[in-house]
């Protein structure tokens, strides 16, 4: 099975109640052969509208951070632990995350076989690592996922968007160093890969609002 076939299957997923509150599942975006995969939490309102992961405010901040470490969204792959937006953007619980990710995220990673996985925030860290891990304590440390992929966690961009002042500056530097470490490991394991295009990827040019398609 390839990613395209998996995406077709994902489109018709009705396997859990989260599907009922979303327009439709949101899959992944980027280079299907990327050696590095970024895993967020789950789609928010903008992602649900456009059918693209990490396209809203968190995604815009992620794009800036990636640009700072010489990566662009078209050259990497971004995805989420859960595929359907929970009502009111609430955080999915561990059982919901586990159920969805075993069905989709694990299969995506199995197909992609990335050299490096980056967990963005606690939900991704809890699924890719284990629920006892803490983002504030364990970010920036390499570990192996259950599937055997090299993984590093960093703060979710939505967390940065809630900070101000010194806390924000410190957290931004942490993210910068974590992303640099992820890039260095990727280039070490896949020396020929190209992680940056000449221009930032404009996701709003590539994706159109999909609300009406599903009404
Ligand atoms: N949008 C996503 O696609 N993922 C997140 O984790 C947050 C916002």
The 10s digit of each residue's pLDDT in 170-192 is 999 999 999 999 999 999 999 99
Give yes or no for a contact between 139 and 119, defined as CB atoms under 8 angstroms apart. Answer: no
Tell me if 123 CB under 6 Å of ligand 1: no
Q: Is the CB of 108 under 6 A from ligand 1?
A: no
What does the block give as tokens for 37? 């995969």
pLDDT at 213 over 60: no
How far does the centroid of ligand 1 lie from the alpha carbon of residue 137, in Å?
A: 22
pTM: 0.97
User: 114 lies in a domain?
Assistant: yes
Q: What is the pLDDT of residue 212?
A: 54
Model confidence pLDDT, tens digit, residues 103-145: 999 999 999 999 999 999 999 999 999 999 999 999 999 999 9
Q: 57 lies in which domain range?
A: 3-7+17-189
The whole-number average pLDDT for the span 33-51 is 97
pLDDT in tens, 52-80: 999 999 999 999 999 999 999 999 999 99
Residue 85 has what pLDDT? 94
**Residue 47 falls inside a structural domain:** yes
With a 6 Å cutoff on the Cβ, whether 51 touches ligand 1 is no
Check which CATH number belongs to the domain holding 163 and give it.
Answer: 3.40.470.10
Q: Please report the atom of ligand 1 found closest to the CA of residue 123.
A: 6
- When pLDDT is cut at 50, 70 and 90, the band that residue 1 belongs to is confident
Domain count, the chain: 1
Average model confidence (pLDDT) for the chain? 96
Q: 146-175: per-residue pLDDT in tens?
A: 999 999 999 999 999 999 999 999 999 999
How far, in Å, from the CA of 47 to the mean position of ligand 1?
Answer: 7
Angle at 207 between CA 199 and CA 68, to 5 degrees: 30
Rounded distance between C-alpha atoms, residue 176 and residue 184, angstroms: 12
Cα 75 to the center of its chain, rounded Å:
14
Report how far residue 128's alpha carbon sits from residue 151's, in angstroms, rounded to the nearest whole number.
Answer: 8
Q: Is the CB of 44 under 6 A from ligand 1?
A: yes
- Rounded CA-CA distance 188/202 in Å is 28
Please indicate, yes or no, if residue 203 is contained in any of the structural domains: no
Name beta bridge partners: 36.
116
Q: Is residue 130 part of a domain?
A: yes
User: 207 lies in a domain?
Assistant: no
Cα–Cα distance, 12 to 18 (Å, whole number): 13
> What pLDDT sits at residue 214?
55
Residue at 49 is within a domain? yes
201 belongs to a structural domain: no
Residue 212 within a domain: no
């Amino acid at each position: 099975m390839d990613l395209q076939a998996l995406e077709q299957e994902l489109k018709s997923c009705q396997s859990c109640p989260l599907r009922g509150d979303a327009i439709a599942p949101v899959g992944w975006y980027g280079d299907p052969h990327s050696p590095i995969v970024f895993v967020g939490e789950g789609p928010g309102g903008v992602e649900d509208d456009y059918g693209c992961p990490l396209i809203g405010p968190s995604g815009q901040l992620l794009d800036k951070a990636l640009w700072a470490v010489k990566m662009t969204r078209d050259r990497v792959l971004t995805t989420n632990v859960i595929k359907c937006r929970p009502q009111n953007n609430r955080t999915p619980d561990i059982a919901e995350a586990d159920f969805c990710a075993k069905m989709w995220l694990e299969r995506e990673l199995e197909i992609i076989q990335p050299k490096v996985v980056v967990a963005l925030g606690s939900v991704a860290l809890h699924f890719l690592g284990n629920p006892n891990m803490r983002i504030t304590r364990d970010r920036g440390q390499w570990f192996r996922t259950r599937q055997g992929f090299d993984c590093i966690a960093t703060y979710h961009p939505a967390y940065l968007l809630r900070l101000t002042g010194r806390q924000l500056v410190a957290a931004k530097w942490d993210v910068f160093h974590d992303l640099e470490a992820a890039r260095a490991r990727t280039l070490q394991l896949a020396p020929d890969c190209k992680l940056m295009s000449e221009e930032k990827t404009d996701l709003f040019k590539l994706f159109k609002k999909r609300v009406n398609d599903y009404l």
